[in-house]
């Protein structure tokens, strides 16, 4: 019985797509951070801005869904 997901090409392809997805997500988060008039991380962590944290969390989920859909095709 041959299990396809144990194939090294499938495993390496999955790792490659995961790395590409993380890089695209990170790059898009940095772009959004540069477009805002203040530093998102500093505002959330130091100033405890819960509303901004919720918006950034929703943005992260949306970017993740877009990246996942783009990778899946």
Two structure tokens written together for 4: 């396809």
pLDDT tens digits, residue range 12-68? 888 888 888 888 888 988 888 899 888 888 888 999 999 989 988 998 898 888 878
DSSP 61: H
Are residues 21 and 68 in contact, defined by beta-carbon separation less than 8 angstroms?
A: yes
**What was the pLDDT predicted at 69?**
84
């Amino acid at each position: 019985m041959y299990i396809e997901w144990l194939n090294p090409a499938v495993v390496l392809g999955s790792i490659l797509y995961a790395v590409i997805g993380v890089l695209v997500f990170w790059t898009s988060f940095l772009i959004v951070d540069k477009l805002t008039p203040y530093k998102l991380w500093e505002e959330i962590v130091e100033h405890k801005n819960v509303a901004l944290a919720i918006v950034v969390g929703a943005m992260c989920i949306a970017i993740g869904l877009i990246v996942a859909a783009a990778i899946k095709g």
